[in-house]
Amino acid sequence: MFKNIPIPPSFSLIKKGNAFLLLSEEYKDLLLQQGIEDTDTFVGRYAGAKQHSGGRSLHPSIPLREGQRMVLRRYLHGGLLRAVTRDLYALNSRSFRELALTEEIRSFGIPTIEPIGAVHQSIIFPFYRAYLFTLEVPGAGDSIQFFQDIGSRPVGEVLVLKRKIIRAAGRLVRQFHDSGFFHADLQLRNLLIADHQVLLIDFDRSCRIQNLSDRMRMKNLLRLNRSVDKWKRRGLPVTFSDRLRFFLAYTGEDPKARDVLRKTLRLYSFGLRFHRLLWNLIER
């Protein structure tokens, strides 16, 4: 069933009842002691726990061991499918694939969160539910929260920090692309800020390609730019200089990357009109 999914080093595949578990050797005993294979009971036990925002839902923060917590992510459909299937998926294994890809991304030295386990709970063939466990990063918040906390007129050290974070985000996305990775949903919520460091997260449906094309790089940058516009319309204090600083950090001194940037911004200026119209329709 999972033969096309590479099992990362230091992880093992276990079957318990109708659940398949992909667990880190370091945390395997701790996770099994909590009974994560019985997902209904486990999820219900932490329904009122501290929650982290992310994607389409809130994710509970769960004690793991002294001084350490984990975040549980339950995979949910979006759009029209959500009302029909909600958390049921068919074929494949979303959580296992994302865990394996995240470990591959970590192996390239790209700052992200650390996965420690995934659950594939079989329902009735070919349907299943999927869950992913990651170590909680203390004090982390997404870039939307970061900009909101910084405010619209930062000065002094706060302004220096803002610029540092924006440049770090640009270099991180460039590192991600240069390593051959494509993000399926590159948006502000998927850039975490923790202890003055930027982390890239949420690699569901993402992939690695031997030679990432300029077109795919542009697609990611356009998606991120649309995310900025969406939140700017809601009052997020992001300036033109902030965007320019990000893009200059992304391109560096590479003339080819700057050419990609010019094409991206040219496409963006045309596409923005459509998306603004769409946002106006949604917000009515």
**What residue segments make up the domains of the chain, in order of their start?**
11-135, 141-283
With left for phi above 0 and alpha for psi between -120 and 50, is residue 242 left, alpha or beta? alpha
Q: At what angle do helices 156-178 and 240-251 cross, to 10 degrees?
A: 40
Long-range (24+ apart) CB contacts under 8 A made by 278-284 are 279/230, 279/233
pLDDT band at 262 (very low <50, low <70, confident <90, very high): confident
CATH number of the structural domain 141-283? 1.10.510.10
| Placement of tokens 């979303």 in the chain | 94
In this prediction, residues 6-10 reach a mean pLDDT of 93
pLDDT at 114 over 90: yes
pLDDT, one tens digit per residue, over 184-222 is 999 999 999 999 999 999 999 999 998 899 889 989 998
Instruction: For residue 56, give every residue at least 6 positions away whose Cβ sits within 8 Å of its Cβ, in sequence order, or none.
Output: 76, 78, 82
Handedness of CA 87, 93, 94, 100 (dihedral sign): positive
> For residues 218 and 262, what is the distance between their CA atoms, to the nearest angstrom?
10
In tens, the pLDDT along 231-254 reads: 999 999 999 899 989 999 999 988
Q: What is the mean pLDDT of residues 49-61?
A: 66
Say what the pLDDT of residue 85 is. Answer: 72
CA distance 161 to 167: 10
Q: In terms of residues, how long is the chain?
A: 284
Which single residue is written with the structure tokens 């999820």? 43
Helix or strand or coil: residue 270? Answer: helix
Residue 135 pLDDT: 97
How would residue 29 be classed by pLDDT, with cut points 50, 70 and 90? very high
Q: Cα(13)–Cα(17) distance, rounded to whole angstroms? A: 13
Burial tier of 41 (Cβ tally within 10 Å: 0-12, 13-18, 19+): exposed
Those residues with Cβ within 8 angstroms of residue 228's Cβ, 6 or more apart along the chain or in another chain = 188, 236, 238, 243
CA distances to 26, 41, 197, 211, 219 from 104, in Å: 18, 31, 20, 16, 22
pLDDT tier for residue 284 given thresholds of 50, 70 and 90: very low
Which range scores top for mean pLDDT: 83-87, 191-195, 262-266? 191-195
Q: Rounded mean pLDDT of the chain?
A: 88
pLDDT at 278 over 90: no
pLDDT of 132 strictly over 50? yes
Output the six-digit token pair for 21: 């578990």
Tell me the two tokens of residue 80.
Answer: 């029209």
Q: Among the listed ranges 67-71, 79-83, 96-100, which one has the minimum average pLDDT value?
A: 79-83
pLDDT in tens, 220-232: 998 998 899 999 9
pTM above 0.95, yes or no: no
